[in-house]
């Protein structure tokens, strides 16, 4: 299972204390949808979501 960073929407393991993408420590366990970005510079989806680093991201985050 994963939790989502509230700042950048990156998915992290439940035991993580800091986001590996942006360094935030604010997470939500309420999220839905996942996108995996391998090449953010060549991905139209990454550009439309504002993602600049490779990784797993939530599409929608709850509170």
Domain count, the chain: 1
The confidence band for 49, taking pLDDT boundaries of 50, 70 and 90, is very high
Q: What is the mean pLDDT of the chain?
A: 96
Whole-prediction pTM: 0.92
> What pLDDT is attached to residue 63?
64
Neighbours of 30 (CB within 10 A): 11
Distance CA 53, CA 48 (A): 13
- Residue 44 token pair: 């139209």
Question: What's the domain range around 22?
Answer: 2-61
Has residue 62 got a pLDDT over 90?
A: no
Q: Is the dihedral of CA 48, 50, 53, 57 positive or negative?
A: negative
Predicted confidence (pLDDT) per residue in 2-48, tens digit: 999 999 999 999 999 999 999 999 999 999 999 999 999 999 999 99
Question: How much of the chain, in percent, has pLDDT values that exceed 70?
Answer: 98
Provide the CATH number for the domain around residue 27: 2.20.28.90
């Amino acid at each position: 299972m994963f939790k989502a960073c509230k700042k950048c929407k990156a998915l992290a393991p439940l035991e993580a204390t800091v986001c590996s993408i942006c360094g935030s420590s604010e997470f939500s366990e309420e999220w839905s949808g996942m996108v995996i970005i391998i090449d953010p510079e060549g991905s139209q989806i990454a550009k439309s979501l504002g993602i600049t680093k490779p990784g797993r991201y939530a599409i929608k985050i709850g509170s």
